[in-house]
């Protein structure tokens, strides 16, 4: 594993996207526990794309315009739905009566956010092979190892984002007007991500 791979991975993961945005929303809505659960869910959501890249399925998405468009439109609709939900409901939540059910709800949303983004599959199709030597006797094993490192970095960075947001939650909860502003900003952020995905090309 090269230093170039680690630095590139860190830059990619640290650049704010839909996963980071959702982790911030979960942290502000439920504190540190929700932040870590959301970070885990977003990390889990990149697994299908990495598998698709390793098994060649991402090439199918790239070659089949209708499949790409179907996934893309589903992703756009889901991001808009998330934005509307944030705008209408607010971020402050009561402590759930069933924490396990709440955890699965957060993970499910986090996974869907990444799963419904076809650009991720194409990204890993172009990204991972760059760091696999053509003479490597076990390229799939190497890609799997690189994928695990990418996932670990993703979880750590998103957890840092989430815990930082959770640390600010108490002050925002005591100031409902500021919380509403943050809520609107996050909702707008999801709409921007939906617009970015709508303009994306294969």
Which residues fall within 8 angstroms of residue 41, CB to CB, at 6 or more apart?
106, 107, 108, 109, 110, 111
Which two tokens mark 140?
A: 């799939």
Angstrom distance (rounded) from CA 90 to CA 92: 6
Closest Cα to residue 200, out of 108, 122, 99? 122
Model confidence pLDDT, tens digit, residues 153-198: 999 999 999 999 888 876 666 666 666 777 677 778 778 877 877 7
Per-residue DSSP letters for 82-148? HHHHHHHH-S--PPPS-HHHHHHHHHHHHHHHHHT-HHHHHHHHHHGGGGS-TT-S-HHHHHHHHHH
Q: Which residue has the higher pLDDT, 99 or 201?
A: 99
Whether 130 shows a pLDDT value over 90: the answer reads no
Angstrom distance (rounded) from CA 73 to CA 177: 34
Task: Identify whether the C-beta of residue 42 lies closer than 8 Å to the C-beta of residue 160.
Answer: no
Instruction: Please give the pLDDT value at position 94.
Output: 44
Sign of CA dihedral 186, 190, 195, 200: positive
Residue 38 — pLDDT band, cuts 50, 70, 90?
very high
Whether 151 shows a pLDDT value over 80: the answer reads yes
Angstrom distance (rounded) from CA 175 to CA 179: 6
Model confidence pLDDT, tens digit, residues 62-84: 667 777 777 778 778 878 877 88
Q: Which residue has the higher pLDDT, 31 or 62?
A: 31
Which two tokens mark 198?
A: 């709508």
């Amino acid at each position: 594993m090269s230093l170039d791979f680690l630095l590139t991975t860190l830059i990619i993961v640290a650049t704010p996207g839909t996963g980071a945005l959702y982790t911030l929303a979960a942290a502000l809505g439920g504190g540190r526990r929700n932040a870590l659960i959301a970070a885990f869910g977003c990390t889990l959501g990149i697994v299908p794309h990495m598998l698709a890249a390793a098994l060649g399925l991402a090439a199918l998405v790239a070659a089949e315009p209708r499949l790409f468009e179907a996934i893309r439109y589903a992703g756009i609709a889901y991001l808009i739905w998330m934005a509307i939900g944030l705008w209408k409901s607010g971020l402050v939540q009561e402590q759930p009566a069933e924490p396990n059910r709440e955890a699965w709800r957060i993970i499910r949303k986090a996974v869907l956010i990444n799963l419904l983004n076809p650009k991720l599959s194409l990204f890993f199709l172009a990204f991972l092979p760059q760091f696999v030597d053509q003479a490597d006797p076990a390229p799939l094993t190497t890609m799997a190892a690189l994928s695990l490192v990418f996932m670990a970095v993703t979880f750590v960075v998103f957890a840092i984002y989430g815990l930082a947001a959770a640390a600010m939650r108490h002050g925002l909860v005591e100031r409902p007007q500021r919380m509403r502003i943050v809520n609107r900003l996050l909702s707008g952020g999801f709409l921007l991500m939906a617009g970015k995905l709508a303009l994306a090309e294969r």
